[in-house]
Amino acid sequence: MSRIGQQPVSVPDAVKVSVQGRTLRVEGPKGSLSWTHRPEVTVAYDRDAKTITVARNDNERLTRALHGTTRALIANMVNGCLNGYERKLEIYGVGYGVQVQGQRLSLSVGYAFPRTFDIPAGVTVTIEAPQSRGDTDPARFTVLGADKQAVGEFAARLRKSRLPEPYKGKGVRYAGEYVRRKVGKAFAGAGGA
């Protein structure tokens, strides 16, 4: 039995839930999400107890796998609509930066032209104002949204545009991410050929 799948998802007062057929809709202060679950599991919402329960229809291997996954996705939807998700990123490098114009994000990360990305629906990007940014201070920005998958996937796409390199540490990285640094070539100072 899936221990995660058996646990009911508690719904706070600020969140509204509706189940119509296989489609689950969750609305909260940070946004609204809808998702259609697989037919191998059954999702039920108890209005009096304010809980969502997930039950599986049979004991097949795929159904057992979907049991806990479905419950975890529903819990993420409820949490995202209530609190939202965020991913903080930093850009290290001289002349590197980030700009947002409408629904397009532009990263200047050392290429001939800036890399531009369309910001997905339901996701917002905020840029921190630099406080006397020096050569070693990174440009910081945050990806926010109610959908955990959309926030994480967009942040991963931005990071992939210029992965942090190990010699100088230049590139896009998550806030607090450790980048293992390598020692560069040591040139012969005295002697040699």
**What's the chain's average pLDDT?**
90
Cα–Cα distance for residue pair 42/27, rounded to 1 Å: 20
Q: Which domains does the chain have, with CATH numbers?
A: 3-82 (3.90.930.12), 85-174 (3.90.930.12)
**pLDDT value, residue 184:** 82
C-alpha 61 chain-centroid distance: 29
Whether pLDDT at 1 is above 60: no
pLDDT of residue 189: 63
- For the residues of 42-91, what is the DSSP string, one character each? EEEEETTTTEEEEEESS--HHHHHHHHHHHHHHHHHHHHHHT-EEEEEEE
DSSP string covering 84-130: -EEEEEEEESTT-EEEEETTEEEEESSSSS-EEEEPPTTEEEEEPPP
* pLDDT score, position 183: 87
pLDDT of 158 strictly over 90: yes
131: pLDDT strictly greater than 70? no
Q: Residue 148, CB half-sphere, CA atoms under 13 Å: how many?
A: 13
